[in-house]
Structure 1
């Protein structure tokens, strides 16, 4: 009843004075709602008109109620040992159908090239032999796995699930910020954000929005496509570290929605040269394992004295075709931020096409000329560890102290391969509820891409992460970021 009353109030509170956007200032950034104060972008006019019916009090109530709903749905992540609701803001991100078609085409192109790269570097290594990327760069990547050389995953698919992080710059141009091919997370929060917003602030039917709740079925279809025998359904399991993992909610949600087993390390055993899970009625073979941790998670698993490590045992099963792991081991090589700089060249090399989505300009500190430039311009650049993740270990030069910049200068000199640098890009902004007013906050976007061999599927929208701290460019949840619902408008 409380939710019904709130929704009724939100829909009925048409204010002629002090409407939400009267004092909203896009400032000097690229704002996805407004091209200038009081001037909505053409695709945003109906959205702004709808939101203008809300008062500041309505907005505060809606945000509070949305987080209550997310807590009821169990949509939490674990931070510092405590389950928390990912902070959520009800003002949605909106992407037009035309813009989404362009982004989707670029994402398909990129994932196709990355998949071919993984197959190549663990196969004939033609891109290395042809001098398009140095051997030392590939083999020094933190997550390059020599044990995967010669592996041939079914249907030629290495990166079954990809999360490609995109940003929109000050000119409204989209760039790829980084690639996530190992265990991209966040899709469950996308689905639950939509569910919470629909309960609290249902959009008018006149605004056509692409549905997103079918992702688990798309994922299941992707995994089933890997079966060697189409006449029988393979046994699929989602491998999780357990409740201690920050995204455990997502692991459990996807397993439940797909109707497959959720297993933890202690459930696994190798018998008869196959992977099994322990059940109350005995061992059950696992044919497809959707892993939700990095490859090194498998190292300490004990599958008997025959193998040097748990990872070696699992890789051997994959090499023999007795087990399929999604994403395939070895895909982490493409998550390396130095490798990232070569993806445009991969697209040209493997596909014979120009990239549809550009990279952010990137300086590779292992190159002497790049390194010298970086060291001389630390106050203007963002420095990232090549193997880093989660927004950790960054230096944002314009916001850093002189002592912080000097510390990174020494790190770069000591290990130049371990760092890249990029210009400080002021991400696009979206109006966000701050107390009883709206302020612009910087956002990025993580769409999810499923590679099935014969086709590549891009799920509509993705996870919009928002930097809730004023002026912050770091959107990661572990660094104080939150999220928004992402609407892809339908063509109809």
Structure 2
């Protein structure tokens, strides 16, 4: 064990590194062996070095506020999270299974609708969804793959069991920070990387490019792939630019693309026009094409949906896939896995109450101070109620919101999220974490070795989102001696 952790207490939570004051978890043992005599002030120096590297590398994110868009340096903690490779192999299988079922579901929504006919998912769940796109009805996609990039958020409970908390299928973000976190840690702890068997993450951009190329509607050797961004004022613009650069793809805005009378998409460049085969879009459906969706959108490309439906361009993630991003739909994913794949889910959902069901709604209203309540289509930690920490005024407000629009709310138990040692002012202290791995699906499937660990930097907080004061850690998938 680390001397610095002599007074560390897990406080009844599942800690990712420590079992008790005398024992570490297998994945953390090699790290503790490397750092066993490291005093706390050395961890503070590592933290300062990490923050300097982030500033020098210009790793930033944008927070939207009433006072405008504020660019901030990426919040990062220098003490890594470790997970055993053997456990990660099992998680990987579960994530691939889940995304396969979700893609089958989206295809079914816009075509045969067999799952509704079977009575497993109520049709009104879809027709009332904000992200259901009737314009996509009848579309069949290559590899039956609509959600090509998914970020599924994982959590552990107090017993250490892994659950999927939610799936992010529209325009999931965060993977660039996973990659940059690793680059920073290699600067901060280079000797540890030499002596530990930590699985790499840096192949993700090539895996992403390979997956995008596999979506090309035409059979060509070198498809033209572009990344479509809303522009520099988007909170994830850093990531858009980073991934385009790493893939060797063009970063474009809507005004850089045009759809001609042949229903093909072309990119404007200094040489004229060049046909585009695959678009990795980082803008929401509503802004993609003013001919079909919001007529006032200046971010999209007029005629883009027409070109897509004609089979002349691939779009990842496909329009309409957000219908499976709905938190109400999330509750049905285990049944989707059984229906489409004839398999049992390898990773469970968190128990979920749907407020549009009378029985569930009555339970939620009676136990509001015990539950976490979420709106069906928000992200970034916005619009949450954490019942045990809510005021009477907040509980009353959410009671009214649920009664006014029950379809828009789900509730889940307040999980005792797992913790990881974190560099604080005076010592290493436990802070709560989740994990967002990234799953790709095109011709083949791929899961990152780990993902973006998000950490609630405020003591006792369960909110890990960077927009809500959270930070991140590097995630190490460790091959231990027991598994070699």
Q: TM-score, normalised by structure 1?
A: 0.93
Comparing 43-52 and 425-434, the one that deviates more: 43-52
Q: Measure, in 2, the Cα distance between the counterparts of 1:214 and 1:257.
A: 10
Q: Secondary structure at the match of 1:104?
A: helix
Is 1:265 the equivalent of 2:288?
no
Is 1:412 the equivalent of 2:402?
yes
1:62 to 43, 46, 67: 46
Q: Deviations over 1:350-387 (max 9, x none)?
A: 00011010000000000000000000000100000011
Comparing 365-374 and 59-68, the one that deviates more: 59-68
CA contact (8 A) 2:61 2:236 kept: yes
Q: Secondary structure at the match of 1:178?
A: strand
| Residue 316 of structure 2: aligned partner | 326
CA contact (8 A) 1:265 1:301 kept: no
Q: Secondary structure at the match of 2:150?
A: strand
| Residue 394 of structure 1: aligned partner | 384
Measured after TM superposition, the shift of residue 94 of structure 1 is: 0.7
| Residue 78 of structure 1: aligned partner | 62
Q: Measure, in 2, the Cα distance between the counterparts of 1:86 and 1:420.
A: 31
CA contact (8 A) 1:267 1:277 kept: yes
Q: Secondary structure at the match of 1:221?
A: helix
Q: Measure, in 2, the Cα distance between the counterparts of 1:46 and 1:310.
A: 49
**What does 1:308-323 correspond to in 2, within 5 Å?**
313-323=303-313
2:91 to 94, 97, 103: 103
Is 1:177 the equivalent of 2:161?
no
Is 1:43 the equivalent of 2:15?
no
Q: Deviations over 1:217-271 (max 9, x none)?
A: 0000001112244443111110011111111111111111111110012212211
Q: Deviations over 1:42-62 (max 9, x none)?
A: 332222222323221111111
Comparing 212-221 and 78-87, the one that deviates more: 78-87
Q: Secondary structure at the match of 1:256?
A: helix
Q: Measure, in 2, the Cα distance between the counterparts of 1:440 and 1:66.
A: 19
Is 1:167 the equivalent of 2:155?
yes
| Residue 108 of structure 2: aligned partner | 120
1:191 to 176, 179, 193: 179
| Residue 460 of structure 1: aligned partner | 449
Measured after TM superposition, the shift of residue 467 of structure 1 is: 0.3
Is 1:360 the equivalent of 2:350?
yes
Q: Measure, in 1, the Cα distance between the counterparts of 2:172 and 2:384.
A: 20
Q: Secondary structure at the match of 1:119?
A: helix
| Residue 11 of structure 2: aligned partner | 27
| Residue 416 of structure 2: aligned partner | 426
Root-mean-square deviation (CA), in Å? 2.0
Q: Measure, in 1, the Cα distance between the counterparts of 2:215 and 2:142.
A: 6
CA contact (8 A) 1:158 1:327 kept: yes
Q: Deviations over 1:296-333 (max 9, x none)?
A: 12254799x9x9x9678322221110111001011101
Q: Secondary structure at the match of 1:379?
A: helix
**CA, structure 1 residues 463+153, in 2 after alignment: closer, same or farther (shift >3 Å)?**
same
Structure 2 residue ranges without an equivalent (≥5): none
Q: Secondary structure at the match of 1:185?
A: coil
Query: How many pairs align?
Result: 473
CA contact (8 A) 2:259 2:307 kept: no
| Residue 450 of structure 1: aligned partner | 440
Q: Secondary structure at the match of 1:94?
A: strand
| Residue 469 of structure 2: aligned partner | 480
Q: Measure, in 1, the Cα distance between the counterparts of 2:226 and 2:155.
A: 33
| Residue 130 of structure 1: aligned partner | 118
1:337 to 322, 327, 335: 327
